């Protein structure tokens, strides 16, 4: 089981969401994808996308403008 970290800090709409999806597509089941970002709306929208994709958000931490989201593929 791998841990994949993607850094979207400084990126704006729709890049954090899109990069997260790209990483999730490449990950194997059981892998953990960690997304770092600073775009406030994406902090809410990445968990929304995970729900739509049926994936578990393991953890969301940090402030709205500096956050880390951990997702299990």
Partner 1 sequence: MTDMAETADKAVIIVHSGDMDKLYSALIVGNGALAMGMDVSMYFTFWGLQRLKKGGLEKGPLSKMHMLGLGKWMIKKRMKASNVASLEKLMNDYKELGGKILACEMTMEIMGVKADELRTEWIDEYGAVGTYVNEARDAKITLFI
What is the β-pairing status of strands 66-72 and 56-63? antiparallel
Q: Least distance (Å) from partner 1 to the CB of residue 55?
A: 8
Give the tokens for residue 29: 């089941």
**Within 4-43, which residues bind partner 1 (CB under 8 A)?**
10-15, 17-18, 20-22, 24-25
> Should residue 62 be labelled a site residue for partner 1 when binding is judged by CB under 8 A?
no
Residue matched to tokens 């902090």:
43
- The rounded Cα 63 to chain-centroid distance in angstroms is 15
Residues that bind partner 1 (CB under 8 A): 10-15, 17-18, 20-22, 24-25, 48-49, 52-54, 73
């Amino acid at each position: 089981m791998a841990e994949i970290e993607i850094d979207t800090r400084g990126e704006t709409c729709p890049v954090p969401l899109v990069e997260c999806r790209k990483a999730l597509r490449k990950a194997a089941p059981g892998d953990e994808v960690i997304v770092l970002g600073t775009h406030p709306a994406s902090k809410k929208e990445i968990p929304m996308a995970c729900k739509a994709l049926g994936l578990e958000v393991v953890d969301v931490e940090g402030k709205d403008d500096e956050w880390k989201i951990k997702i299990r593929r």
